[in-house]
Structure 1
Amino acid sequence: MSCCDLPPCSNWMSVGAVMNRSWWCEGTQHAVRILFLSVVLLPNLCPAQDILWERLSDGLMVSVWKPGDVCPTVPTMLVVDMDPERTKFSVHHYAQEALSEPPRIDEWQKRTGHHVLFNAGLFRENFAYLGLLYKDGRPLGSRRHTSWQGLFVAEPIALGLKKARILDLTAERFDEEQPGYREAAQALMLLDLTGKIRVREGGKHAYQTIVAETKAGHILLLKSLGAVRLYDIAQCFKDALPAVRQAMAMDGGSSSDVRILGSLWEKDFLVPDHASWKSLFGGSTGSHIPLPTVIGASPR
């Protein structure tokens, strides 16, 4: 119904009320006209696409998410949803595994057999990790980075802790001598529990790998299929993915890499259009450089 179809104000109230409150009628009709015109005349915004999942195994789902006009600067992203109650996480560093040089992600997968693999945080030219890195409760020789306050932790040693989560080191304590988790990898805090974006608005455009924690306690892994600023991703989470509780950014650029074990894919997809996802998650999104540190996920 258009504003022209609205009954006159005299039909809504008595004549006396109209005489005494004609300003109310005029204001109401004016407001309705503005509302109607805003709906009709504003450009048709394409909302963020709902995430439609393909279940690959118990506790593991994947999707290809298009943020849409809600996040116009954020490209399509590969998304992996992992339930820590059913998924175990492991940190791998090439030197700790007595390898002479870092493998590529496909080589890491052949070596470890993990269902999911993704790159960890940043590293130096000599492949030393930048920030805290723990494997089986032991530090792998790297020191705490003073500026990066995100810490992905998994496999608790102490009772009562979540099986995997993100620690914000500005607000939470991590005991380096007696860690509460067996696996840990430090990187850049992106979005915290207060909703604050923890990176500057400038920043460079690059391929990005993001680890997020949802309100349900799941771990989301996201990889952008195009270059994007970290700030824009964080803002997009706030605008279009309210389920994200907090997030951190792993290494980006040419190091950004995610891989799903090919044998997990079924021949018959729930949605036929999803058939192309296998190649996207199998490494067809670009070239792959050697990665000194990766994080793997497999069923418990």
Structure 2
Amino acid sequence: MIDDFISGVHRGGSDAIARRRFPTVAGGTAGRLFGYVLALCTLPCVAFAENIKWEQLADGVAVSVWNPGEPCPAVPSLLAIEIDPDLARFAIHYYAHENLAQPPTIEDWQKRTGHDVIFNAGLFRENFAYLGLLYKDGRSLGSRRHTTWQGVFVAEPLVSGVKKARVLDLAVEAFDEQHPPYQEAAQALMLLDRNRTIRVRQTGKRAYQTIIAETDKGRILVFKSRDVTSLYDIGRCLRDTLSIVRQAMAMDGGSSSDVLVSESLWQRDQQNENRLFWKALFGGNASPHIPLPTVIGVSRR
């Protein structure tokens, strides 16, 4: 909910990724080379980062537990889901639009919809009204554009020649509310833009977080922190360690931060100890669930 989540926002405006360790050298050519490397690494040292190690569960859906480690000391491990929009489709679900008296939990949403993956959408009021633009099947679900939150997750285009899913930055990109270019849309906070600018303030407020990112290859990444952390720290971690992230936005956080991967996707996997642990984490068995008025579902095409 909004009370758990809001932090200051700039207006207008594999398992592990770790740095390699270099041996100590006394001087000479090797020493000068080390000095150059050290100077370069005062900037974000993306070149020395490894890729997240993904476990493919189905066509278009892969998962990982990402521990950013030393480069991001304030960021805990995160559940990570990689989705290929060419192989999987997205759908918005809002409880009132589906004639439900009360919002379901994420487990109940999965049972109702049958989606392979479900995660929470953006913020909502105490009466469960969505804060920001919300579209399903090309139609507005009644909520108004938020004037300062500039991230919009969009999917399933109504026009040809565009990506099947994106993170839009309303500071530089348009979203026509009368003629939406995508069937599905959910507005929330912009976190990291294409200029590698972190778009939230460093307030120190910490909570569980759900993040959606778009990669340079057009994949969609969903992250859920396994412990409390700040949006600013996650934004900085994405900026400094994951060069593949083109831009990212923050969905609702706190007790509303939730993801679930259907148990059916794990049936083909080896039932070793590590897989069973991941299955429990992504199956929602490690944390309680509260009702969610709005969720985003993923199903294979």
Q: TM-score range by the shorter chain?
A: 0.7 to 0.9
Distance 2:31 2:214 in 1: 42
2:56–2:62 contact (8 Å) kept in structure 1:
yes
CA–CA distance in structure 2, aligned partners of residues 299 and 91 of structure 1: 15
- In 2, the alpha carbon distance for the partners of 1:121 and 1:273 equals 31
What secondary structure sits across from 1:69 in the alignment?
coil
Q: In the alignment, residue 92 of structure 1 is paired with which amino acid?
A: H
**Partner secondary structure for residue 89 of structure 1:** strand
Q: 1:126 to 1:271 in 2, by over 3 A?
A: same
Instruction: Tell me, yes or no, if structure 1 residue 146 matches structure 2 residue 160.
Output: no
Q: What code does the residue aligned with 1:194 have? A: N
Instruction: Give structure 1 stretches of 5+ with no counterpart.
Output: 5-27, 40-46
Structure 1 residues 130 and 271, CA gap change in structure 2 (3 angstroms): same
TM-superposed deviation, 1:113: 0.2
Tell me, yes or no, if the aligned pair for 2:269 and 2:275 is still in contact at 8 Å.
Answer: no
Query: What residue number does 1:52 align with?
Result: 53
Instruction: Please name the residue that 2:205 is paired with.
Output: 204
Greater helix content: 1
Match of 2:261 in 1: 260
Matched residue, 1:68: 69
CA drift at 1:287: 1.0
Is this contact kept in 2: 1:48–1:66, CA < 8 A? no
Instruction: Output the amino acid matched with 2:176.
Output: D
Q: CA deviation at 1:49?
A: 6.5
What residue in structure 1 maps to residue 246 of structure 2? 245
CA-based RMSD: 2.3
Q: Residues 81 and 270 from structure 1, CA distance in 2 versus in 1: closer, same or farther, beyond 3 angstroms? A: farther
CA distance in 1, matches of 2:175, 2:269: 45
SS of 1:68's partner is: coil
Aligned residue for 2:70, secondary structure, equals helix
Alpha-carbon contact 2:158-2:183 (below 8 Å) kept: yes
Q: Is the CA contact 2:154–2:167 (under 8 Å) kept in the aligned structure 1?
A: yes
* More displaced 10-residue stretch of structure 1: 280-289 or 106-115: 280-289
* Preserved contact between residue 57 and residue 269 of structure 2 (Cα < 8 Å): no
Letter of the aligned partner of 1:258 in structure 2?
A: V
CA distance in 1, matches of 2:82, 2:162: 20
In 2, distance between residues paired with 1:246 and 1:139? 24
For the residues of structure 2 that align with 1:178 and 1:53, how far apart are their CA atoms? 37
Alignment of 1:1-300 (within 5 A): 29=28, 32=31, 35=34, 50-266=51-267, 268-269=269-270, 273-300=274-301
1:3–1:201 CA distance, 2 compared to 1 (3 A): closer
**What's the CA shift string for 1:243-276, capped at 9, x where partnerless?**
1110000000000000000011036439752331
Deviations 1:152-172 (A, max 9, x none): 000000111110001100100
CA gap 1:268/1:86 in 2 versus in 1, 3 angstroms: closer
| Cα displacement (A) at 1:35 | 4.6
Task: For 2:170 and 2:205, locate their aligned partners in 1 and report how far apart those are by CA, in whole Å.
Answer: 24
Which amino acid is the alignment partner of residue 275 of structure 2?
H
Q: Percent identity?
A: 60
CA contact (8 A) 2:131 2:144 kept: yes
1:24 match: none
Shift of 1:91: 0.1
Q: Check whether the contact 1:85–1:163 (CA below 8 A) recurs between aligned residues.
A: yes
Residues 265-274 or 283-292, more deviating: 265-274
SS at match of 1:144: coil
Q: Match for 1:91: what amino acid? A: I
Do the aligned partners of residues 127 and 3 (structure 1) sit closer, same or farther apart at CA in structure 2, a change above 3 Å counting?
closer
SS at match of 1:107: helix
Q: Distance in 1 between matches of 2:33 and 2:215?
A: 38
TM-score, structure 1 normalization: 0.85
The answer on whether the counterparts of 1:48 and 1:71 sit within 8 Å (CA) in structure 2 is no
SS in 1 for 2:255: helix
Superimposed CA distance per residue, residues 120-158 of structure 1 (whole angstroms, 9 cap, x where no aligned partner): 000000000000000000000100001100000000001
Give the length in aligned residue pairs. 269
Q: In structure 1, how many angstroms separate the alpha carbons of the residues matched to 2:196 and 2:295? A: 28
Between 1:276-285 and 1:219-228, the stretch displaced more is 276-285
